[in-house]
Amino acid sequence: MIPFVPSVTLDREKYMYEKWRGPVLADFLIELHRKSHGLPFLDPSKAFSLKDYVYKLIHEINLFNKDIKDEIKDIDAFLKKNFMPAYEKLPVVFVTAIIIR
């Protein structure tokens, strides 16, 4: 964000020890999440589906990369048994990431 938003340069050795920053950031993220509920792209039926993407990718690998078909079969079995049941229970929400360097 630095190239786009004017800000104060942080003292990188000290700012993470300033206790007020955690609650302020948490409040900001909670409020951002609350205000995002009415956004049209948060319709769960229109959200990006990792499941659909993974199975489309597996299908294409099986079509065009037959030499790794056995490895893909093992990955597919793992995803179906261990990952997808948990993934399907995750809520669809608006998420923002803050990267501090």
Distances (CA, A) of 95 to 30, 50, 68, 69, 98: 10, 15, 35, 35, 10
Whether 99 maps to a domain, the answer reads no
Q: Can you tell me the mean pLDDT for 35-54?
A: 74
Whether 101 maps to a domain, the answer reads no
Question: Residues 87, 90, 96, 99: is their CA dihedral positive or negative?
Answer: negative
- The mean of the pLDDT values for the chain is 80
Higher pLDDT, 42 or 75: 75
Taking only the tens place, the pLDDT of each residue in 61-96 is 888 888 888 888 888 999 999 999 998 888 776 665
The predicted structure's pLDDT at residue 96: 59
Question: Residues 23, 29, 17, 6: is their CA dihedral positive or negative?
Answer: negative
Q: Rounded to two decimals, what is the model's pTM? A: 0.46
Domain count, the chain: 1
Residues 6+ apart with CB under 8 A from 25: 98
Whether 8 maps to a domain, the answer reads no
Q: Are 91 and 29 within 8 A, CB to CB?
A: no
Domain enclosing residue 30, as ranges: 15-87
Task: Record the tokens describing residue 92, joined without a space.
Answer: 């669809």
